Amino acid sequence: MNLEDIKATKELLSAEQKIVIIPHKNPDGDAIGSTLALWHYLKNKGHNATIISPNDYPKFLKWMPGNEQIKNFETDSIGAKRLIAEATLIFTLDFNHLGRIGQLQPLVEDTSATFIMIDHHQAPSDYAKIMYSDVSMSSTCEMIYNFIEFLGDENKVTPEMASCLYTGIMTDTGSFKYRSTTSNTHRIVANLIEKGADNTKIHNNVFDTNTPSKLHLLGCALKNMVILKKYGTAYITLSQEELDIYNYKKGDTEGIVNYGLTLDGIKLAVIFIENKEEGIIKISFRSEGNFSVNEFARNHFQGGGHTNAAGGKSDETMEETTTYFTSLLERYKDELNA
């Protein structure tokens, strides 16, 4: 964040604002952790702030302090509409173009509120007056810690905020192992533990939450894995029928895509998940090394994200989607075998 933006933010926050904080659709640990931490911070500073999520999110994120006040647009659209219409300041966290907030997009585009974007994804669009966008960051939670520090309020990080920020950094870095995890990330994480984040408890709250049906769904996914050795690729499919058999709940497929990358010689791992209600196949991409799944998802599957983790979708059937996907790999063969 540059000095000018820090100054402008300080000025904005020196008067009382009506603030709405928005994470992306299908929010993950980083999206929920960052919005909640910012909410605590703003509320403690005397602002009137509300988090509006475009839709619901997994149960394993619902233990975070402040969770009960998050408004779900799908179940409380009237209240959410009013808050957005009345907002003077809108923070958008962990995404960088308004296509990522689903049904909230037209409402948000219609306000006269000032926008502040805090995000670490590639290719930000230009809707925010103040943009703290940095693709080198491990997570939006790491950026929220920096943001609070820029505003001179590092000592105002409470145990509640520390828990939320720790959670988002942990989930977005694959428990501190992805390449985006820097020495600075670890310094911030150390500070968060000092400020009251209970690291072991947080890990248990997020990861030790399996149910028998979730593990059986994982078994089904791993059985379905297709390994395309000559393209250094492994992909998994889950049909709606399979999700129904295993009593799928939001979040049950989290992390399954990563299994492909644990195989020797596999550089690209993908999971295709059918969503009959939305009429799409939701896709998650993960890669190792320089193969950019952000570009791959952007160019072929209406998506985007980061170099090594991205998402997208397809409007075709599962069979058409995987056939199309496989047909694309020939042109990336050299990169995927490098």
* Closer residue to ligand 5GP in complex, CB, 66/303: 303
Q: Is 269:233 a contact under the CB 8 Å cutoff?
A: yes
For residue 261, which phi and psi values (nearest 5 degrees)? -70, -15
Minimum Å gap between C-beta 76 and Mn ion is: 24
Minimum Å gap between C-beta 26 and ligand 5GP is: 7
User: For residues 153 and 192, what is the distance between their CA atoms, to the nearest angstrom?
Assistant: 14
172 lies in the binding site for Mn ion (CB under 5 A):
yes
User: For residues 211 and 252, what is the distance between their CA atoms, to the nearest angstrom?
Assistant: 9
Tokens encoding 142: 């790491």
* Closer residue to Mn ion in complex, CB, 30/252: 30
For residue 150, which phi and psi values (nearest 5 degrees)? -55, -35
304 lies in the binding site for ligand 5GP (CB under 6 A):
yes
Binding string, residues 75-114; x marks residues near ligand 5GP by CB under 6 A: -------------------------x--------------
Task: Indicate which single residue of 94, 142, 252, 254 sits in contact with Mn ion (rule: CB under 5 A).
Answer: 94
**Residue for token digits 């702030």?**
49
238 lies in the binding site for ligand 5GP (CB under 6 A):
no
Minimum Å gap between C-beta 24 and ligand 5GP is: 6
Binding string, residues 258-297; x marks residues near ligand 5GP by CB under 6 A: --------------------------x-------------
Which helix (H) or strand (E) element contains residue 92?
A: strand 89-93
The alpha carbon of 225 is separated from its chain's Cα centroid by a whole number of angstroms, namely 24
Q: Which of 242, 271, 240 lies closest to 257 in space, CA to CA?
A: 271
Contact region with ligand 5GP (CB under 6 A), list: 7-15, 84-92, 183-191, 302-310: 302-310
The angle subtended at Cα 37 by Cα 31 and Cα 42, nearest 5°, is 120
- Which residues between 114 and 173 bind ligand 5GP (CB under 6 A)? 121
* Closer residue to Mn ion in complex, CB, 94/252: 94
- Count Cα neighbours of 322 within 13 Å in the Cβ-side half-sphere: 20
| Bridge partners, 304 (sequence order) | 311
Q: Which of 316, 255, 259 lies closest to 282 in space, CA to CA?
A: 316
142 lies in the binding site for Mn ion (CB under 5 A):
no
251 lies in the binding site for ligand 5GP (CB under 6 A):
no
Interface residues with Mn ion (CB under 5 A)?
Answer: 30, 94, 139-140, 172
Interface residues with ligand 5GP (CB under 6 A)?
Answer: 24, 100, 121, 284, 303-306, 309-313
